[in-house]
């Protein structure tokens, strides 16, 4: 009894840390998956300029991440203030993004400004959150498990509720989206208060100057060799994420089931996390991640041949690729923690990793102008260009990541 009671405070701290993963995920999925479809289909923004706006905003956001990481390395004692400010900006920008001006001409600059604010705030809060977790006792394994579980719950909520709102009566979309935004802001506020009431973990010594920290990371061959497979794999996931709603609505003609498909995808990722963790302990993190890449490739190969009415086949694709996503979430931070030994530069290292993820999302935005050049238009129904860009191109990128990770594993057998 007393032993169990002694463990409760530690478990509470782990849970209090992990809860912030839910609202961060609730913001990330709409920003990167549902927002393009909303502005194209409901606001009337043309596909090609929308893609270039997404590319530019995400590229700018990407360049901030190492700077944010470096700033946090040097101001760990003010981390709570940075997190509170970032959360406030994120909540306000998120509400504004889903309430744009009525005309496409006015909506475009509004989208640019709000995206820059939302991306920047989300990045600052996420990097601070990861840095906090990296300084917890015993590597924060239980806290990280709470974080990933809460994040997947947030993803499932964000995959079902906004999609259901967008598929409902157009006259009610604006009011319901505002309610969802307010719900998100409330969840974010509660989770942040739970975290910030906890004592901050001990800070390490101030990191090196930015130039020196980046040079030190670049001199780390194992860290440097991890970046190409990570970027290729992230790009192979970012392209279908950007185009998922277009594929479901036009290629499959199953708009009403979009929320179910997304929930199945992220639910499979949640269920896959403990399985990948167990497998990684047996075969190693690199070998485990490569197996997940093969599973994802098999799923997208199947998606390339789907058309109207293939709902069960696409559900199987969502389950396979979603399960593989669990490995993508779990294993790169594990490998990063093993190769980055300079604790004072851990924030910069996580900043670089998130920067590459943002680069992948930025490059994925170019998929929209590519589709426009291939004469695809939202709402036109099934065709050949959408499966080519949504499924075939990610397969090629995933196989390139598989090869690059194999070379990495031969040199650094983790």
pLDDT digits over 311-352, tens only? 999 999 999 999 999 899 888 888 887 787 665 566 677 778
Where do the domains of the chain lie? 12-411
Better pLDDT: 296 or 215: 296
Cα dihedral 82, 88, 91, 95, rounded to 10, equals -140
207-221, 269-283, 358-372, 379-393: which range is least confident on average? Answer: 207-221
Q: How far apart are CA 236 and CA 155, in angstroms?
A: 19
> Does the pLDDT at position 28 exceed 60?
yes
Instruction: Say which range, 95-104, 163-172, 200-209, 297-306, has the weakest mean pLDDT.
Output: 200-209
Report whether 242 contacts 300 (CB < 8 A).
Answer: no
pLDDT tens track for 217-242? 777 888 889 999 999 999 999 999 88
- CA–CA distance, 293 with 295 (Å, rounded to integer): 5
pTM, 2 dp: 0.74
CATH code matching the domain that covers 12-411, chosen among 3.90.70.10, 1.10.10.10, 3.40.50.150, 1.20.1250.20: 1.20.1250.20
């Amino acid at each position: 009894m007393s032993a169990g009671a002694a463990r409760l405070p530690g478990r509470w701290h782990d849970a209090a840390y992990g809860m912030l993963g839910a609202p961060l995920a609730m913001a990330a999925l709409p920003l990167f998956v549902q927002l393009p479809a909303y502005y194209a289909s409901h606001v009337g923004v043309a596909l090609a300029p929308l893609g270039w706006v997404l590319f530019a905003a995400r590229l700018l956001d990407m360049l901030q991440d190492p700077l944010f990481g470096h700033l946090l390395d040097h101001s760990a004692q003010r981390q709570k203030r940075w997190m509170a400010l970032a959360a406030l900006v994120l909540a306000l920008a998120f509400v504004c993004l889903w309430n744009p001006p009525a005309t496409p001409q006015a909506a475009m600059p509004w989208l640019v400004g709000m995206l820059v604010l939302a991306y920047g705030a989300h990045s600052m809060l996420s990097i601070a959150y990861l840095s906090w977790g990296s300084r917890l006792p015993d590597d924060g394994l239980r806290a990280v498990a709470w974080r990933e579980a809460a994040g997947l719950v947030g993803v499932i909520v964000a995959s079902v509720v906004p999609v259901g709102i967008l598929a409902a009566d157009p006259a009610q979309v604006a009011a319901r989206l505002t309610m969802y935004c307010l719900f998100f802001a409330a969840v974010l506020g509660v989770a942040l208060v739970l975290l910030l009431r906890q004592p901050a973990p001990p800070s390490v010594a101030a990191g090196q100057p930015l130039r020196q920290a980046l040079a030190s990371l670049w001199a780390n061959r194992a860290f440097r060799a991890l970046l190409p497979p990570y970027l290729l794999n992230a790009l192979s996931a970012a392209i279908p994420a950007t185009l998922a709603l277009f594929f479901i609505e036009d290629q499959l003609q199953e708009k009403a089931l979009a929320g179910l498909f997304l929930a199945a995808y992220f639910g499979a990722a949640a269920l896959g996390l403990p399985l990948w963790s167990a497998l990684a302990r047996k075969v190693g993190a690199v070998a485990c991640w490569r197996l997940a890449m093969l599973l994802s490739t098999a799923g997208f190969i199947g998606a390339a041949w789907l058309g109207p009415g293939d709902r069960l086949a696409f559900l199987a694709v969502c389950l396979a690729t979603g399960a593989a996503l669990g490995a993508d979430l779990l294993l790169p931070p594990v490998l990063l923690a093993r190769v980055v030994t300079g604790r004072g530069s851990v924030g910069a290292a996580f900043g670089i990793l998130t920067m590459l993820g943002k680069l992948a999302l930025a490059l994925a935005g170019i998929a929209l102008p590519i589709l426009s050049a291939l004469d695809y238009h939202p709402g036109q129904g099934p065709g050949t260009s959408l499966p080519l860009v949504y499924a075939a191109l990610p397969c090629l990128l995933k196989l390139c990541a598989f090869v690059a990770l194999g070379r990495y594993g031969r040199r650094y057998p983790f």
